[in-house]
Amino acid sequence: MPYTTYLVEKGASHSFVAEAKPPTVTMPRIKALMTGSLPGFIDVVRNLNSPALLEDNVITQAKAAGKRMIFYGDETWVKLFPQHFVEYDGTTSFFVSDYTEVDDNVTRHLDKVLKRGDWDVLILHYLGLDHIGHISGPSSPLIGHKLSEMDNILMKIHTSLLSEERENLSPNLLVLCGDHGMSETGSHGASSMEEVNTPLILISSAFERKPGDIRHPKHVQQTDLAATLAIGLGLPIPENSVGSLLFPSIEGRPVREQLRFLHLNAVQLSKLLQENVPSYKKGSNPAPAQHPASTEQQG
Under the binding rule (CB under 5 A), the answer on residue 103 touching Zn ion is no
Question: Quick one: 67 or 188, whose CB is closer to Zn ion?
Answer: 188
221-to-24, 124, 236, 285 alpha-carbon distances in Å? 13, 21, 19, 30
195 binds Zn ion (CB under 5 A): no
179 binds Zn ion (CB under 5 A): no
By CB under 5 A, residue 74 contacts Zn ion: no
When asked if residue 56 is in the footprint of Zn ion (CB under 5 A), the reply is no
Smallest gap from Cβ 132 to Zn ion, in A, equals 10
Q: At closest approach, how far in Å is the CB of 164 from Zn ion?
A: 33
Residue (55 or 98) nearer to Zn ion, CB: 98
Supply the minimum distance, in Å, between the C-beta of residue 185 and Zn ion: 12
- Give the helix/strand (H/E) hosting 24: none
- Which is closer to Zn ion, CB of 179 or CB of 224? 179
Q: Report if residue 55 touches Zn ion, rule: CB under 5 A.
A: no
Q: Which residues pair with 285 in a beta bridge?
A: none
User: CB of 261 within 8 A of CB of 245?
Assistant: yes
Build a one-symbol-per-residue string for 120-159: x at contacts with Zn ion by CB under 5 A, - elsewhere: ----------x-----------------------------
Residue 175: CB atoms within 10 Å: 15
Query: Shortest gap between Cβ of 134 and Zn ion (angstroms)?
Result: 5
Residue number, 172 or 187, with CB nearest to Zn ion = 187
Give dist(CA 266, CA 277) in Å, integer. Answer: 16
Helix (H, G, I), strand (E, B) or coil at 14: strand
Between 55 and 179, name the residue whose CB sits nearer to Zn ion: 179
Rounded CA-CA distance 200/43 in Å is 26
Instruction: Give the count of alpha carbons within 13 A of 57, CB side only.
Output: 21
Choose between 74 and 224: whose C-beta lies nearer to Zn ion. 74
Non-local CB neighbours of 46 within 8 Å, separated by 6+ positions = 54
**Which has the closest alpha carbon to 250: 259, 241, 242?**
259
How many chain residues touch Zn ion (CB under 5 A)? 1
- Contact residues: Zn ion, CB under 5 A: 130
